[in-house]
Amino acid sequence: MSDAALVLTGIKKHYNQGKPNEIKVLRGAELSVKRGEVVALVAPSGAGKSTLLHIAGLLDTPDAGQVKIAGEDLTGRSDRARTNARRSEIGFVYQFHHLLPEFTAAENIVLPQLAAGVPNAQAHARAVDLMGKVGVADRAEHRPGALSGGEQQRVAFCRALANAPGLLLADEPTGNLDPATSDQVFEALMTLARETGLAALIATHNLELAARMDRTVRLEGGVLV
Ligand code: ADP
């Protein structure tokens, strides 16, 4: 088995915002993220971070290039194969938590496991275990609306990791939080990554947080440097 959780090769992507306004967002981006490695993705806004994360997360297809997840080349595979890979191998976290408001924090982490066929009691035990690792176990029975922003985001991390994916993709996961909370949420993420051998690609504007990750890649002129 390959020890790379994610390999991007020669990724190109353009958007047509009405001819002749073609924007080449990615011009041959290359990246390899090893298992257990946490990589910061830094770029000014509009540079194409979200586009890159969507392609890496199999939510969007590149014009050219190859996306390998856990050693498997998913370029040109069927929608079904890509959806299955996305569900089992990849966790997503966004700037806003997108937790389901009518369910408790624990239920938000249980639901994706039930969808994957995990029995309820086992799913609940895993939810509580994950919440314990990031210091929100005492909030398990509260709905998201009753949690602070930092707690909501920590629950969102637990949900992303509910089905034990090998790769976490995060788009400005602390972008919406004050500095102290952002720090706490970031530490929670690093703890989870270290404990589970998770690979992560985390887009951030925060250079101080980026410096605490294993490595930083910059998106400049459509390539990663
Ligand atoms: P970032 O996440 O770094 O802010 P994005 O990946 O969201 O950047 O966008 C990169 C560029 O591509 C921007 O100029 C944006 O306007 C353009 N873009 C993104 N998505 C689309 C789309 N669906 N259609 C047309 N242009 C898009």
Model confidence at 117, pLDDT cuts 50, 70, 90, reads very high
Which protein residue's CA is at the shortest distance from atom 23 of ligand 1?
15
Rg of the chain over all Cα atoms, to the nearest angstrom = 17
Q: Which residue has the higher pLDDT, 45 or 128?
A: 128
How is residue 208 written in tokens?
């101080």
Phi first, then psi, for residue 33 (nearest 5°) are: -115, 120
Which residue in 224, 196, 183, 180 sits closest to 39, CA to CA? 224
Among 17-26, 130-139, 163-172, where is mean pLDDT lowest? 17-26
How confident is the model over 16-24, as a mean pLDDT? 81
13 CA from centroid of ligand 1 (Å) = 10
pLDDT tens-digit series, residues 77-87: 999 999 999 99
How confident is the model over 67-72, as a mean pLDDT? 95
Phi first, then psi, for residue 29 (nearest 5°) are: -75, 135
Whole-number Å distance between alpha carbons of 134 and 112: 19
Q: Which of 21, 23, 92, 204 to mutate to test the pocket of ligand 1 (most atoms within 8 A of CB)?
A: 23
Which pLDDT score is estimated for 1? 54
Whole-number average pLDDT of the chain: 93
- Given the structure tokens 């991007």, which residue do they identify? 8
Model confidence at 2, pLDDT cuts 50, 70, 90, reads low
20 CA from centroid of ligand 1 (Å) = 16
